[in-house]
Structure 1
Amino acid sequence: MDRSFPKGCFVHRNITETPYITGERPIGWCAHYVIGIAFAGVLLFFYGPAWTHKPTLFPAILIGVVTVRYPHWRLPV
């Protein structure tokens, strides 16, 4: 039985026993980079492009913490 994220399976009992999905690795890498670019866009949306000329640590840490914690608030774990 193919149980995966698109079919509503968010947690696996044993990930090594989960069937391989064709193209899973390139899909994962593409998603990884798209999500990272989107998070950078969130930073620029809230702090503006001027932040890139004189960056400070707090906005980057704040956005980083929020984006790391968000899945824990959103996904049923």
Structure 2
Amino acid sequence: MINTIYSGVLIGLGATIAMDAWAFIQNRIWGVPMPNWAMPGRWFAHLFRGKIFHHDIGQSDEVPSELIVGWLFHYGVGVVYGIVFLLIVGTTWQTAPDFLTAWVFAIATIAAGWFILQPGMGLGWAASKTPTPWKSRGLGLIAHTVFGLGIWGSGVLIGSTI
């Protein structure tokens, strides 16, 4: 079990780094704005104050170090996803990592953003209250595909050391 958790942490970190690298590439090539992790940080911090849903997270009270909280939340979720992935597929996946399994899992993880985080921040179900919801959804699906590539790539790297 310890090996599963350890490998899951590494896979989650690798996948989250891949997702962030993709955000950087999109920003540099196409001018897609970088994620503002302060707002998810603010939302996460407000959970401990008993507030899940906000009309507009930008209008909610600021919290100390919300940008740092947001980054920690972002990477914490990635690590949890890495561990959950290995708990679902089993550690034998690491001996022959396949992209399809990683991709299906990564696409499924977008549900948390669409149906918990975004409505909680006041953006509506699956970004329905944003100016361009279909663009947001498409970019999210691409980002989670890259997350899946990160799961698979991390699995390949970790599997080669087993």
State the TM-score, normalized to the length of structure 2.
0.37
What is aligned with 2:69? 27
Unaligned runs of 5+ in 1: none
Note the C-alpha offset of 1:18: 4.9
What is aligned with 1:60? 102
Change (3 A) 1:73 1:31: closer
State the TM-score, normalized to the length of structure 1.
0.67
Letter in 1 for 2:77: I
Change (3 A) 1:22 1:73: closer
- The C-alpha deviation readout for 1:32-71, integer Å capped at 9, x for no partner, is 1111010011110111111122111121111111110234
Q: Distance in 2 between matches of 1:49 and 1:34?
A: 21
Match of 1:41 among 72, 83, 92: 83
Letter in 2 for 1:39: Y
Note the C-alpha offset of 1:20: 3.0
Asked if structure 2 preserves the Cα contact closer than 8 Å seen for 1:43 and 1:59, the reply is no
How many residue pairs get matched? 74
| Richer in helix (by share) | 2
Q: Distance in 2 between matches of 1:46 and 1:52?
A: 12
CA RMSD of aligned residues (A): 2.7
Deviation beyond 4 Å, 4+ runs, structure 1: 3-19, 73-76
